[in-house]
Amino acid sequence: RYRLDFYENICLNLLQAGYHRTYSELFELVEVDKHRRIEAGLDSATSTTVPFSRQIDKLQAMLKFMIDVENADATQNYDEMYKKCLATANFFRAQKDDQWLVRHFLCKCSHIANKTVSVMNFLSTKKPNADEKIQGSTLSHLRETANRRLTESSYHMVKFDSDTGEYSDALRGANILYHELKKSPPYLVPPEDPAAETDDSWCITAPSMISVVCEQIVNCLLRQADEADNKRNDEYLQLLITAESLANESENQNLVGACKHRMGQFYEMIGDMNMAYEHTEKYYRLSKKLDNIHRLKACRAMAELHEKMGDLYNARCYLTELEGIASECGDPRIAAEVNMLLADFHVTQSKELEEACESARNGFRWALRTENQELTNRLRLWCGIADGRLVEETFLTTVLCARTDLTAMMSLLKWRDTRIPMRKTNKEDFHRITKCTFLERKDRLGKQRLITLDNTNQVAGASATHA
């Protein structure tokens, strides 16, 4: 016996103590862990973790729960079995590598809840007087508790699937649970730790389960919508309509706003600007009651919509409001992106190039604070675009006239000297540089013309000789 390791000693002790079910389940879990590690491969993170059979602290804590479950089963205390399994699942939630154990014990909770409902239904039909023999409680109360535990186990599984990224499974389970809750009494969202049920504040603060399930469905549907390949067909629209309906039922205004935003984007993509404006404007009004993220999205959507409709005045008003919200947020990345939008608008739409330069420079200063090289480069580019357009707009005529017009020449030189750290250039230098440049270009064009003529003459001479 003393040559056995900790896990083997535990197995031996369980068999000697008569906890055969606990032994079988422990053995099964260790085998599952072995197969997980083999399937993951040697290069995976799973293979580098300590095998479950050697994690002594976890084994000891889990065995305590499992033995309590088997003792509760022996006394037919099914609700205690359920709570101990749920507590075991909650114990393993903290570690990312233990999520497979969380799933195992949540599935066991569901199995216990289903078994309890079956037992209660059997007793209610076959043994009408059994309520006097079971734990001193009435059969109707036990049946009610069993049905509630079954619903709660489904909720825990849906939430776990959603939290671990299994959105298809979460959506499937949430849809089934939603229709069951429509026919059941109003239940509250159960705590992940069953010990919290004894806290009176839980009953006061816990939200309605059907509302939270609606939120889970909406989140999964919106994720499907974002990942859809075709966002212009009727199927996509129906998905958004369903999501919006459930969001309204959940009374979660953030989700309602997210649905309206996507509805506006859908109609904008298919070219129905009236419907796009209707949904986007509703989102904008709703965003006044929501957080700054929604306010930013709504203002941007309204600005872009007005810009596409040719209403530059209102587009600018919404962009100005957007700039104010970005300042309130105090997030450098958001402020940089908003100033980039303003620079783009002023360059391409309003032609207010001084403001475009100011917005681009402000955005560049914000971008430097983010230490995001890509964003910084984009704002640097917009600074160049805005400055270039301003030069073109202001000095194009002056540049063209500068060679012959003394006033235009001096104006151009003065502007350059105040903005570019280069040596001073006087009138004589300017004439010399431009004259030399002009003469060089003239000579180059003359030489190209002579080469072209020589080639033409050679071709003509060759043709005549051949003839």
The distance of Cα 305 from the centroid of its chain, to the nearest Å, equals 24
pLDDT at 406: 75
pLDDT band, very low/low/confident/very high, at 456 (cuts 50, 70, 90): low
DSSP lists the bridge partners of residue 237 as none
DSSP codes of every residue in 165-184? T-HHHHHHHHHHHHHHHHHS
Run of H or E including 262: helix 253-269
Domain ranges of the chain: 406-457
Q: Which long-range contacts (CB under 8 A, 24 or more apart) does 356-363 make?
A: 356/386, 356/389, 356/390, 357/383, 357/386, 357/387, 357/390, 359/386, 360/385, 360/386, 360/387, 362/335, 363/335, 363/336, 363/337, 363/338, 363/339
The region, left, alpha or beta by phi > 0 then psi within -120 to 50, assigned to residue 338 is: alpha
**Among 345, 347, 346, 378, CA closest to 364:** 378
Q: Phi and psi dihedrals of 233, rounded to 5?
A: -100, 175
- Max alpha carbon distance in the chain (Å)? 127
Average pLDDT over residues 218-229: 90
- Which two structure tokens, joined as six digits, stand for 342? 């303003």
Q: Is the pLDDT of residue 428 over 70?
A: no
pLDDT at 82: 95
Q: Is the pLDDT of residue 427 over 70?
A: no
Q: DSSP label at 231?
A: -
Per the document, the length of the chain is 467
pLDDT tens digits, 253-303: 999 999 999 999 999 999 999 999 999 999 999 999 999 999 999 999 999
Average pLDDT over residues 216-235: 89
Evaluate the CA torsion angle 398, 403, 404, 405 in order and state its sign. positive
Residue 268 to residue 245: CA distance in whole angstroms: 21
Q: Is the pLDDT of residue 174 over 80?
A: yes
CA angle 254, 255, 259 (to 5 degrees): 120
Q: Is the pLDDT of residue 130 over 90?
A: no
- Which two structure tokens, joined as six digits, stand for 12? 């031996």
pLDDT at 405: 74
Residue 103 to residue 153: CA distance in whole angstroms: 11
**Among 182, 191, 268, CA closest to 217:** 182
pTM as predicted: 0.77
Instruction: Please count the other Cβ atoms lying within 10 Å of the Cβ belonging to residue 268.
Output: 19
Q: Phi and psi dihedrals of 208, rounded to 5?
A: -65, 135
pLDDT at 24: 95
- Which two structure tokens, joined as six digits, stand for 370? 């983010």
331 contacts 365 by C-beta, under 8 angstroms:
no
